[in-house]
Amino acid sequence: MGRHVFDDKLLAVISGNSIGVLATIKRDGRPQLSNVQYYFDPRKLVIQVSITEPRAKTRNLRRDPRASILVSADDGWAYAVAEGTAELTPPPPRVTTLPSRR
């Protein structure tokens, strides 16, 4: 989607925060809500959330990748909701050895 479909005020709410509520779908169809810390990439219009394997939200997204995230402004009244399909990606490789000093 191009940036033109997004309201700049909503993007400002998402860009100005790093904590939101992630909604996934439980096996029985009810919503699973999780407080999460996220990173928003404004160039790609992508929200990244770190998840771990034993968590309910991870199991839910593996079964059904539909998700929403709600982000509130500091005043609690303004908010933005992003909806979409989650893509689970492995974490980047960790550094196991440090380069030698010369």
Residue 94 lies in a domain: no
What percent of the chain stands above pLDDT 90? 66
Residue 96 lies in a domain: no
Q: Rounded to two decimals, what is the model's pTM?
A: 0.81
Question: What total of structural domains would you count in the chain?
Answer: 1
Residue 29 lies in a domain: yes
Query: Rounded mean pLDDT of the chain?
Result: 88
Residue 70 lies in a domain: yes
DSSP of the chain: --GGGS-HHHHHHHHT-SEEEEEEE-TTS-EEEEEEEEEEETTTTEEEE---TTSHHHHHHHH--EEEEEEE-TTSS-EEEEEEE----PPPPPP-SPPPP-
Q: What is the pLDDT of residue 36?
A: 96
Q: What is the CATH number of the domain that holds 67?
A: 2.30.110.10
Residue 30 lies in a domain: yes
Tens digit of pLDDT for each residue in 24-58? 999 999 999 999 999 999 999 999 998 888 899 99
Residue 99 pLDDT class (50, 70, 90 cuts): low
Residue 97 lies in a domain: no
Q: What is the domain range of residue 29?
A: 3-85
Q: What is the pLDDT of residue 52?
A: 86
Residue 100 lies in a domain: no
Q: What is the pLDDT of residue 92?
A: 75
Residue 98 lies in a domain: no
